[in-house]
Chain A
């Protein structure tokens, strides 16, 4: 294996490949930063360019774009509260508050270091741990996916600033919206209000832009143009070194987030969209000061960005070993592999090792390249955005949101839906319903529904079909995890209740 790694390094060290890694990463970052353009789109758009290339340069380019894109989403999440890609939803929780306090540069540095760390970690797992990790992916069938969805929902306790009850209601709202369109099982046409255009359902990006970006936009307007402060960019010396040191000291956070990202990346269909949220939840849960999360704590940004870049490497594990894409961009890369005549499986690691190892190493290199580009570019970008007066900021964000919501499906209805959700989101926020639980519901709804109904069908052999949900040991582990995650916030108060002096202790009265 180490011979192959050396071989890969040799190939990578060619001028062409190095240039491609650099160009791809930068291009990916730009695309990722634009709200509405996802990593999947970016990779898909560049596939035609790879035809003229040999397999190695072509794959290197696509990989670099993918890695750069996932990182790039952090920029718009931090600066305008709009996740540039769905994998950066969690970055808005602490990133945007930091930017509003004039600490945007800190946030970007945190995101950069985290993304690089996570990216490299994912690649290392890909190179060294592919076979055993891939086997885990296969153990997840419909019942397990359902419980993964349920587990995902328990995260709401850390997302809902305010009422937990409203958070769950918001999630239910999101789940219901995800059912609009064609049912995954049975093909029923549901809740389309009689319009064929609604058969495609509500696209995640459209809702993201609508719920995260438009309310912020409207808030800027509603505060009155005169009052929109141009946030003072505090150019303090040594911010860079200090922040980098601080982030690198968050060892547990970095490691844990990377693991979460890699593991979730392995699950086909779960994808990077939830990895960042699960990681945020875990970081908050294990922190000594959970209440600081959401106010602008760099730990939050690090947790989300590390996890989502680890997904890049993690998602390729089942792709290379089993031919099962772990995330949507992997499906496209799979198509490219097939067109080049490369078959997933042990063959990729042995006879075609030159291509495979070069590709994997190039992903790691892309993660490293992100650091200088991101920090330098991020600095410029932060300064630029914070110095824009409202009369340019508002239409500027407006035009970007319109492009973003149109471009995802080339659909005019999506643009109007985006605005509609924006207004609804603004109103709901006012009424106490935050955006993150709703979006979480939208993401997890299809996963849960698919798992639930497929498991029901699988259970036809049992006396009650629902038994299928509880059969496998993995299901039990997931159920336990969900219960634990759900009850965790209440364990503290519960313990206190039992410790009250003179109170009723189990087993007897004083």
Chain B
């Protein structure tokens, strides 16, 4: 991806965000709207400026820092996606399964996927064991010591 493409993609996405908010404008009082409107207008102007500058050599120079490291390194998309999905499922199921169960499942899931457990009883027991230990240690610290309630899970009533 060239710097110019990145600029355009980023600008398009952010502009879409501004548009989504702009369409939701529904202010009852004058005061609710003054500030967000100004900010949205400024942001839109900045985005347009970025796009304009992307066609000039000026912008290209500034792009070299920070993104260079992303180039030249292969990104493991599948692994990224799988871990992402596990995390997402974990947080969605948090409410129904409760912290303890989802924590054990999520932790051991990611750990196994990233190559932690061998396919034999000892390996898997080790895997789940660590997940159990970590999860329950955290439950102890938070629920018992700090008295911060962690989700109990709706399926448990």
Binding between chains A and B: yes
- Assuming the contacts A402-B91, A403-B138, A416-B91, asked whether A183 and B32 have C-beta atoms less than 8 A apart, the reply is yes
Across the interface, do A398 and B87 meet the contact criterion of CB distance under 8 Å? yes
Nearest A-chain residue to B24, judged by Cβ: A191
Query: Which of A165, A218, A416, A452 sits near B35, CB closer than 8 Å?
Result: A452
B128 interface residue, CB < 8 Å from A?
A: no
Select one of B3, B18, B92, B135 contacting A399, CB under 8 A. B135
How many residues on B have C-beta within 8 angstroms of the other chain's C-beta atoms? 77
Q: How far is the CA of A456 from the CA of B32 in the complex (A)?
A: 12
A200 within 8 A of B: no
| Contact (Cβ within 8 A) A428 B10 | yes
**B125 interface residue, CB < 8 Å from A?**
no
In this assembly, does A467 line the interface, its C-beta being within 8 Å of a C-beta of chain B? no
Q: Which of A172, A394, A412, A434 contacts B94 (CB 8 A)?
A: A412
B19-68 interface with A by 8 A CB criterion:
21, 24, 26-36, 39-40, 42-43, 46-47, 49-50, 53, 59, 62-63, 65-67
**Of A163, A398, A432, A452, which one neighbours B107 at CB under 8 angstroms?**
A398
A395: contacting residue among B42, B92, B111, B147, CB under 8 A = B111
Report A-chain residues with C-beta under 8 Å of the C-beta of B26: 188-190
Which of A162, A222, A395 touches B79 (beta carbons < 8 Å)? A222
Instruction: Report yes or no: A398 in contact with B106, Cβ–Cβ below 8 A.
Output: yes
CB pair B138 A392 closer than 8 Å? no
Residue of A nearest to B49 (CB): A165
Are B46 and A431 in contact, with the CB atoms below 8 A?
no
Q: Is A486 part of the binding interface, using a Cβ–Cβ cutoff of 8 Å?
A: no
With A and B bound together, what is the CA distance between A190 and B87 in angstroms? Answer: 29
In the complex the two chains form, is A188's CB within 8 Å of B32's CB? Answer: yes
Which residues in A have their C-beta under 8 angstroms from that of B148? 37, 41, 45, 407
A384 within 8 A of B: no
Q: How large is the interface on A (under 10, 10 to 19, 20 to 34, 35 or more residues)?
A: 35 or more
B6 and A222 contact, CB distance less than 8 A: no
Chain B interface SS verdict (over half): helix
Closest to B40 in A: A176
For the complex, give the distance between the alpha carbons of A400 and B13 in Å. Answer: 30
A434-B83 in contact (CB<8A): no
Given A162-B62, A188-B32, verify A168-B150 contact (CB < 8 Å): no
The answer for the CA separation of A175 and B40 in the assembled complex, in Å, is: 9
Residue of B nearest to A194 (CB): B24
- Docked CA distance A35–B39 (Å): 30
**B90 & A398 in contact (Cβ 8 Å cutoff):** yes
B113-153 CB contacts (< 8 Å) to partner A: 114-116, 130-131, 134-135, 138, 142, 146-151
Chain A residues, CB < 8 A from B146: 31, 45
Could you give, for residues 85-98 of chain B, a 1 whenever the CB lies within 8 Å of some chain A CB and a 0 otherwise? 00110111011000
A176-B18, A224-B79, A398-B107 as given contacts; A433 in contact with B30, CB under 8 Å:
no
Contact A221-B79, Cβ < 8 Å, known A162-B63, A176-B21: yes
| A101 interface residue (CB < 8 Å to B) | no
**Min CB–CB distance B132 → chain A (angstroms):** 12
Is the Cβ of A172 less than 8 Å from the Cβ of B90? no
B85 → A minimal CB distance (Å): 11
A431→B66 CA distance, assembly (Å): 10
CB pair A394–B83 under 8 Å, yes or no, is yes
> Do A222 and B75 touch across chains, with their CB atoms under 8 A apart?
yes
Instruction: Scan residues 151-180 of chain A and give those whose CB is less than 8 A from a CB of chain B.
Output: 161-166, 168-169, 172-173, 175-176, 179
Query: Which residues of B have CB within 8 Å of A445?
Result: 39
Does the CB pair A456–B91 fall under 8 Å? no
Q: A162: nearest residue on chain B (CB-CB)?
A: B66
Determine the distance from Cα of A327 to Cα of B154 in the docked complex, in whole angstroms: 37
A391 near B115: Cβ-Cβ < 8 Å? yes
* Contact between chains at A186 and B90 (CB < 8 Å): no
Report A-chain residues with C-beta under 8 Å of the C-beta of B138. Answer: 399-400, 403
The answer to whether A225 and B35 touch across the interface, beta carbons within 8 angstroms, is: no
B67 near A432: Cβ-Cβ < 8 Å: yes
- Beyond A415-B91, A445-B39, 15 additional contacts (C-beta under 8 Å) are A45-B148, A162-B63, A179-B35, A190-B26, A191-B24, A221-B80, A224-B76, A225-B79, A391-B116, A394-B83, A399-B135, A403-B99, A412-B94, A423-B84, A433-B10
From A183, A394, A418, A430, B6 is in contact (CB under 8 Å) with A430
Does the CB pair A161–B65 fall under 8 Å? yes
* Bitwise interface map of A from 413 to 442 toward B, beta carbon under 8 Å scored 1, else 0: 001101100010001101111100000000
- CB of A223 within 8 Å of the partner chain: yes
Q: A186: which of B28, B80, B130 is its contact (CB, 8 Å)?
A: B28
Q: Given A163-B63, A448-B35, does the pair A395, B131 have CB atoms closer than 8 Å?
A: yes
Query: How many angstroms from the CA of A166 to the CA of B149 in the assembled complex?
Result: 40
Residue of B whose beta carbon sits closest to that of A412: B95
| In the complex, chain B residues whose CB is within 8 Å of the CB of A179 | 35-36, 39
B110 sits at the interface (CB 8 A): yes
Known: A172-B43, A222-B80. A453 touches B34 (CB 8 A): yes
Which residues of A sit under 8 angstroms from B32, Cβ to Cβ?
Answer: 183, 185-188, 190
A336 vs B71: C-alpha distance when bound (angstroms): 54
With a CB–CB cut-off of 8 A, which chain A residues contact B134? 395-396, 399
Please tell me if the beta carbons of B90 and A402 are within 8 angstroms of each other in the complex: yes
Minimum CB–CB distance from B24 to chain A (whole Å) comes to: 5
Cα–Cα distance between A35 and B131 once the two chains are bound (Å):
19
Q: List 24 A-B contacts (CB under 8 A).
A: A163-B62, A165-B49, A166-B50, A176-B39, A186-B30, A186-B31, A187-B29, A188-B29, A221-B83, A222-B76, A223-B73, A225-B114, A225-B115, A391-B114, A392-B116, A394-B111, A399-B138, A402-B103, A412-B94, A412-B95, A416-B91, A432-B3, A445-B39, A452-B35
B94 touches A415 (CB 8 A): yes
CB-CB < 8 A to A26: which residues of B?
none
Q: In the complex, which residue of chain A has the Cβ closest to the Cβ of B149?
A: A410
Contact A185 B31 (CB under 8 A): yes
What 1/0 flags go to A221-252 for Cβ under 8 Å of B? Answer: 11111000000000000000000000000000
